[in-house]
Amino acid sequence: MKRLFAKISLFFLVSLILFSCDAVKRLDDNQQLLERNEIYVNGDKISQASIYNQLDKEPNTRLLGIPLRLHFYNLARPNIDSILDRKYIQDSVKFRRLVNRLSRKQFDQLIQNKKDFNAWIKRTGEAPVTVRNEDIEDSEEELQAYYWNNGWFNVETSSEVIPLRKEKRARVEYFVETGTPYDIDSIKTRISSPVLDSIYNEHDQNSIIKSGVQYKTLDFNAERDRLTSLFRNNGVYNFEQEYISFDADTINTNNNVNTSVIISDLPTNEEDTVKNTFKIHKISRVNIITDYKFLNKNKPLLDSAQVKGDFYLYSYDELDFKPEAITDAVFIRPGRIYRDIDRTRTYSRLNSYRVFKYPNIQYMPDPADSTGTDLITNIFLTPQQKYSLGFDFDVSQSNIQQFGIGFGGSLLIRNVFGGAENFEISARGSIGSSKDAVTTSDQDRFFDITEIGADVSLSFPRIFLPFNTEKFIPKYMSPFTSLSLGVSTQTNIGLDKQNITGALNYKWTPSRRLSNSFDLLDIQYVRNLNAANYFNVYRSSYQDLNEVVNSVNVVTDPAYLNGSGNLTIPNGADAFIDDVQNNRSVTTGLTDNQSQIVRNIGERKQRLTENNLIFASNFTYLWNTKDNLYDREFTRFRFKIETAGNFLSAVASVADLDKNENGNYDVLGVNFSQYIKPEIDFIKHWDLGHDNIFAVRAFGGVAIPYGNANSIPFTRSFFAGGPNDNRAWQAYDLGPGSSGGRNEFNEANMKLAFNIEHRYNLFGSLNSAFFVDIGNIWNVLDIVEDEASTFTSFSDLQDLAVGSGFGLRYDFNFFILRFDIGFKTYNPARSLGDRWFKEYNFGSAVYNVGINYPF
């Protein structure tokens, strides 16, 4: 297999080298292919992407120095119509033979298919970028405009075309002489409206245009945006950006700019007897139509309500909502001045309810006001359907099941109690085929594993606590409280778990980029229904036990063994572990290393088979500058801290409950978990231009047991590897530490990860990426004694695994299908001097398939 991959790679490389010699075959004799651009500023060659982005033409895109898309484009025939005519139409013998064989209609379709395929090659490829005088002149103008807009008003540009030794190729050199930059000197204002002048002077300290700073056109644009927002959020309802202009004087100023901020008043028509001027507008009344439909617009309103004298609610039918539920989402208040931000917050809050379609907010002059400053606000709300059904279906494959089918359904009931509450109930199930069935009868069936589950949740658009939270979580932060309960059961999957969860969650959004989440209660009960199946699932541990028990130096009870000389499951294996852990005389002769191996296996078995009871609370802080799905440059920072067991520990201590044989408290017969678990996750994307993205992610987390526990439940542990982590290892196969992932489902209570990825476009909707993944998991401050798995000092950072590779991603617009190949670049499972590039080949690579980007 490795030799086959090597041959394929060599063939691909040689083909590309031979193919690259023909990049200019479609060019005329008087044309030159643009190989590269070079920009020299004041005599120095520069490399800033922001300046090269100003050029009108860039060379053809390249992968590993080869213009693949150009070569693909050159596969198309430039004169396809004449070629097909000469080949199929003018050759009368071939024409008649094909028409007789196919029919004239099919023949015409054949010709059209060839034309369409040729057109597709052109669309998918990239036409040669040639050196053209008009493009160079445009680039010079763009460079000049760029520097002028950044304060170099005396900038001069020129260029030169340099032919290269290769035929029909050239580079273009651009020369920029910037001169001396201009700085902002004096800033004056000419504001025609007294109202605007007063508002401006109250906030002039926030001006973006500062004296002594180099001139930038973008600063003036930002100042225009700031002033527009300032006025419209201080009552000037009818103010628009076009009323703002700037005057810049540079005559005899010694490279300084004397600036004037000019803000015009409302225009006055000749027939008007009174001069129009900007005024401060206030809200006199807020009308809310709760069930607006276009078909109802001419019907009479049948129901109404007045809330605290401020809001008037109307309905064409009986009101379905508690008035306060709607008015709590409206930040436009009678008696207050008009503010854009109030309208924005009202839109956001109403949309977050998920009970209305797109709200419509309109303002109109109040006819009862003679001053012309009062506004009536009309809010039109169209409820969504009360009931919504959803269905899911998926096909899956994993290291647990060879083939699986999943299905589910959900029912959403909106506005359950009339206060915009939403109730959702969902059910899910799956059946699958596993190579590891528990019983013989199961093995006779193709679908031998099942999982079923159900969830219910109820959300409220407010914070439910026994005290008032309005002061530190005001309504504009879109607070929500949600209650959820879930249950699931697995059969023939691992240890056949039964999982019960419950949560009381609070969410609020202080700003567009910041969101907070607080789980006051996060309860989980995990019951292992088939713990006796442990060694059938974790086969590597069973094999390690048999290697010990079959050693010539080890003597044990023959009743522990089956006819093949291996330990019976579960009785023989459990008894053998118990003998070693308690130094019983039934089992003798083990070396210290063998005893440690058995104790480690016993500790892991105890940890993974015990039932778990988790009473946790957690807080999540999320800062995300990503504006939308298409934002290419953003920062995302997430911090989460979780604590578990403190409440139960306090209750047990106060109630003076008895402790079990391990000195810990049991609740409902289960040793409850107690730990603290902080996590930090940082993601940063840089847009390099030309469909190039550089992305990084850093993650660190640790879960420290204490008090009533000496280990972390499996469901709250960390794992490494997989398509969204270190892609050179399968999920759960990496770590802990340098142990080599010798167990199934390797996990630990500490994790570090760092990922780097360069993403770029190949052609059309097909993208590619190079990546480097670094990370591992370790055990720290818990019961695990294996030195290879534990983190004891910074020297253990030498066990950070490094994977690297490349991938293809196809963009379907609504999702991205991802295929990544990860190579083990630095494998900590190997000896220290033998870790780099020892498994860097396609035979040892891991092939990952995923949906969307990993981060």
Same domain, residue pair 6 and 150: yes
Interatomic CA distance for residues 818 and 562, integer angstroms: 47
Same domain, residue pair 214 and 259: yes
Same domain, residue pair 242 and 291: no
Domain-located, residue 620:
no
Torsion from C-alpha of 309, 314, 320, 326, nearest 10 degrees? -50
Profile the chain (855 residues) by mean pLDDT over runs of 10 residues: 48 49 78 93 91 91 82 86 82 80 82 87 87 94 96 94 89 95 94 95 94 94 96 96 94 90 86 78 94 77 75 88 91 95 95 92 93 93 93 71 82 94 94 62 65 95 90 92 95 84 96 95 93 88 91 90 90 91 87 90 89 96 90 95 95 86 86 96 91 94 94 93 94 90 88 96 87 96 88 93 94 89 95 90 90 90
Domain-located, residue 274:
no
The SS3 call for residue 108 is helix
Phi (first) and psi of residue 676, to 5 degrees: -125, 135
Q: What is the CATH number of the domain that holds 218?
A: 3.10.20.310
Domain-located, residue 275:
no
Domain-located, residue 100:
yes
Domain-located, residue 834:
yes
Same domain, residue pair 418 and 446: yes
Residues 424, 412 contacting (CB under 8 angstroms): yes
Same domain, residue pair 159 and 23: yes
Same domain, residue pair 307 and 254: no
pLDDT at 18: 47
Q: Where are the beta strands (DSSP E) in 690-746?
A: 692-702, 704-705
Same domain, residue pair 559 and 696: no
Phi (first) and psi of residue 643, to 5 degrees: -125, 145
Domain-located, residue 35:
yes
User: What's the pTM value of the predicted model, to 2 decimals?
Assistant: 0.83
Q: List the one residue out of 774, 751, 771 whose CA is nearest residue 701.
A: 751
Domain-located, residue 616:
no
pLDDT at 10: 47
pLDDT at 355: 94
Question: In the 8-state DSSP scheme, what is residue 701?
Answer: E
| The domain boundary residue, chosen from 349, 380, 411 | 380
CA angle 658, 662, 666 (to 5 degrees): 45
Same domain, residue pair 396 and 372: no
Handedness of CA 81, 82, 83, 86 (dihedral sign): positive
Quote the domain boundaries for residue 451: 387-529
3-state helix, strand, coil in the chain (%, to 5): 25, 35, 40
Q: What is the CATH number of the domain that holds 734?
A: 2.40.160.50
Domain-located, residue 690:
yes
Torsion from C-alpha of 700, 706, 710, 711, nearest 10 degrees? -30
pLDDT at 88: 78
Q: List the one residue out of 509, 401, 406, 528 whose CA is nearest residue 463.
A: 509
pLDDT at 444: 58
Same domain, residue pair 657 and 787: yes
Same domain, residue pair 69 and 143: yes
**Residue-by-residue DSSP string for 824-852:** EEE-TTS-GGG-EEEE-SGGG-EEEEEES
Domains of the chain: total: 6
Same domain, residue pair 500 and 538: no
Interatomic CA distance for residues 813 and 557, integer angstroms: 64
CA angle 667, 669, 675 (to 5 degrees): 50
Same domain, residue pair 445 and 376: no
Residues 332, 348 contacting (CB under 8 angstroms): no
Residues 284, 376 contacting (CB under 8 angstroms): yes
pLDDT at 274: 66
